[in-house]
Amino acid sequence: MAITAPTFSPPELAELNARFEPADPREIVHWAVETFGDGLSVGASFGGASGMAILHMVAQLKPNVHVFVLDTDYLFEETHETMRKSVPALGLQNVNVYKSKLSHEEQAAKYGSALWMRDPDLCCEIRKIEPNTRALEGKTAWVSGLRRDQSEGRADTPIVSWAPKFGVVKLNPLANWTEKQTWEYVMANKVPYNPLLDQGYTSIGCYNCTVPGVQGRAGRWQGFDKEECGLHT
């Protein structure tokens, strides 16, 4: 049965953002679960602390929520291990992995080897954006762990918006939280997190495009004027 999506006009979105700006993220997550029900989907990278905090919040209310993971085939082993440990620890019951339709070999044959070193935007389109589109098919709302303090490009991140690229309502419950608040939540609730975060990595993506020791998302796509994969822009 098709899920009917609640629709919000621009004034209604503005009203929701004003309402949620001073709200605790758990209140926003509760509203999302009540409003969207089975139409709700949570994107999980098992990389950053914010995403882990979101998973913990949602799992408390709806353990069978649709969670999707974009496995680019270039994820760190620590990321896979974090997922293996966190899913049962958080009680998540509906975690789904989406991959590119092209294997390593097929991508290399079609576009040349090490595409990420020549055209990272195209690589992200193939290995992240297209699978993300499939992951959200039939869904009405998408929850992510974006925060405004993660980069200059995310400084104006709304709490609630419309994501035209994917045809869903986009929710960022942690938008106005700081890194300190996020880690306080993770530690207070004993939320599992990626061990690479204790090894100098502040933003974790694909192993071939991520370096440690660089603050925030500047550690991604070294050598390119790029801090976003395209999912959130």
Distance CA(229)–CA(206), nearest Å, equals: 11
Model pLDDT for residues 54-74, shown as the tens digit of each residue: 999 999 999 999 999 999 999
- Tens of pLDDT, residues 7-49: 799 999 999 999 999 999 999 999 999 999 999 999 999 999 9
What SS3 state is found at 67? Answer: strand
SS3 17: helix
Tens of each residue's pLDDT in the chain, 233 residues: 445 567 799 999 999 999 999 999 999 999 999 999 999 999 999 999 999 999 999 999 999 999 999 999 999 999 999 999 999 999 999 999 999 999 989 999 999 988 888 888 898 899 889 999 999 999 999 999 999 998 788 889 999 999 999 999 999 999 999 999 999 999 999 999 999 999 988 888 888 887 775 655 554 556 555 455 556 65
Domains and CATH numbers, the chain: 10-219 (3.40.50.620)
Which residue has 């882990």 as its token pair?
A: 52
Say if residues 82 and 192 touch (Cβ distance below 8 Å): yes
pLDDT at residue number 209: 81
* Sheet strands side by side (includes 160-163): 95-99, 66-71, 40-43, 141-143, 168-171, 160-163
Question: Which sequence positions are flagged as catalytic?
Answer: 229
The pLDDT of residue 1 is 43
Q: Of 162, 137, 157, nearest to 147 (Cα)?
A: 157
Q: Are strands 40-43 and 66-71 parallel, antiparallel or unpaired?
A: parallel
